[in-house]
Amino acid sequence: MSCVTASMDDIEFEEAARVGQIIAIRTKVNRAFKTSMEVGIKVTVQDVLTNAEKIVSVAYATYVAKPVGGGKVELKPVQLLSAEDHLEHSLAFERRRIRLGYVQVFQKLMQESNKEDTFEEKDAVSTEHTHVQSTELVLPPHANHHGNTFGGQIMAWMQTVASISASRLCRSHPLLKAVNMFKFWGPSFVGDRLVFKAIVNNTFHNSVEVGVRVEAYNCEEWIKDQPRHINSAFLIFNALNDKGELLPFPRVKPTAQDSVRRYHGAIARRRIRLTRKCILSAKGDKPSDAWETSNQAYLSYSNIAALTRLAGKPGWDITKTLDNVIPFEFSMLGFRPVKIWTHEEGAVLSFKVEMQVKVPSHVAFSLLSDFSLRQRWDRHFLEPYTVAVRSVTLRAVPPRPEFCRSEILCAGFQIHSEGSSSCTVCYFNQVTSGVMPYLAANLTGSSKSIEDTALECIKFLELEDSKC
């Protein structure tokens, strides 16, 4: 059946596609939720002379199935055939959490920005002359076979007005760099008139944000002047000189109450976009990210993405198996095998501890995700963790000489259900300098601290479960 575009996540254009180059667009449904599904889109450009292929953009769109005659339809889950399908399927769930939580994060940042109202730039210019409006009539080539205007067509029209708006400020041809996450609030159809209203919201050193509001009218609504607000999007442009260097944009000053809101909105969106970019593109060992409510969702996404990728990597080797060697104090547990696996990739070493536990997976999940309980089975943890398995920096808890702080880069649990009353718990850890001594002592046989901790973990889970 046909589908409508519900929303588009942030789109960043990494590379320009030029006349004469070959564009490849690859798309795949990553996950079906209830009535909506996430589609991953990868656009690459190939140079015909050199064959060099570059990524233009990787984006995610959400579509909703629309049965003929209205109503809702529940989608079947997608079949996962490869490791990549499994990975994207888990990550799609996290991306959905981010997109559905976006409005809340944005509103929180807006509340904060309302407290800091200062516009003291001397040379700042007004944005009033950047207002651009155009009207388009939706014709059959602009729509699908049900007469719904294509989301991509609406985006193309938005880009035209937005780039004219941006050019009024930079006096050159602006280059579209990014489009902020947006939602199609309501449909438009063949025969509708679409009015696009663009205005510059704010400028940053080398970029400008233009907001575009789209209103739809059928004939009756046009006569009565009753528009339907179907979409608002925010486009970010750069401007280049003849040498390809970025041009600076003049600072702007908001003059009306509405423009103050738009001015702050652009700052909040930029903060979210940059945070997302920093967190999602972070590579290698680096100091932990600072935690803020505005980046919570992205931190959580990047933790889960990194852990899911680590768990899915081929090449895990069993280093040790502990099966019938159960110390006396644990003998009441019976036979519980523990396996220690390692994974090497270049200079990166990771380990996995696999434990058979006689508790249902949802119980193990809830007990292990409560980090205030971790001290009960892991004596290496002196402070309870309450947010994430990857370290974050908290301004409220600065470094103290009496504590040696070890960073956790990528660590966590995977819990596989083994029927209704038991599960396999795997603990992963991408080794950092703080963890290295424990692993080294364990691998050389001089310590059994990992096995002991694993057995404590099993005991803790099973005892807590028996109390439930």
Ligand X SMILES: CCCC(=O)SCCNC(=O)CCNC(=O)[C@H](O)C(C)(C)COP(=O)(O)OP(=O)(O)OC[C@H]1O[C@@H](n2cnc3c(N)ncnc32)[C@H](O)[C@@H]1OP(=O)(O)O
Q: Which residues make beta-bridge pairs with 31?
A: 38
Residue 70 or 399 with smaller CB distance to ligand X: 70
Q: How far is the CB of 224 from ligand X (least distance, A)?
A: 22
Nearer to ligand X, 4 or 389 (CB): 4
Structure tokens at 417: 């259900």
Minimum CB distance to ligand X, residue 77 (Å): 12
Give how far the C-alpha of residue 267 lies from the chain's centroid of Cα atoms, to the nearest Å: 19
The residue behind tokens 């390692």 is 342
Q: How far is the CB of 57 from ligand X (least distance, A)?
A: 18
CB of 181 to ligand X, least distance (A): 8
Q: How far apart are CA 44 and CA 277, in angstroms?
A: 19
Q: Toward ligand X, which CB reaches closer, 28 or 129? A: 28
Residue 79 vs 446, nearer CB to ligand X: 79
* Residue closer to ligand X (CB basis): 74 or 116: 74
Kindly list the residues in this chain that would bind ligand X in the complex (CB under 6 A). 3-7, 33-36, 62, 64, 99, 144, 148-151, 183-187
Nearest CA to 46 among 61, 56, 32? 56
Q: Which is nearer to ligand X, 97 or 173 (CB)?
A: 97
54 and 15 in contact (C-beta within 8 Å)? yes
Give the Cα separation of 324 and 240 in Å (integer).
Answer: 69
Q: Whole-number minimum distance, CB 341 to ligand X, in Å? A: 36
The Cα–Cα gap between 293 and 279 comes to: 14
Nearer to ligand X, 144 or 356 (CB): 144
Rounded CA separation 33/99 (Å): 14
> HSE (CB half, 13 Å, CA atoms) of 31?
15
Give the 3-state secondary structure of 275-289.
Answer: HHHHHHHCCCCCCCE
State how far the Cα of 382 lies from the Cα of 257, in Å rounded to an integer.
Answer: 51
* Residues contacting residue 70 through CB under 8 Å, at least 6 positions apart: none
Q: Smallest distance, Å, CB 143 to ligand X?
A: 8
Residue number with CB closer to ligand X (208 or 268):
268
d(CA 188, CA 201): 26
CB of 139 to ligand X, least distance (A): 15
Least distance (Å) from ligand X to the CB of residue 11? Answer: 14
Q: Which of 205, 64, 195 lies closest to 121 in space, CA to CA? A: 205
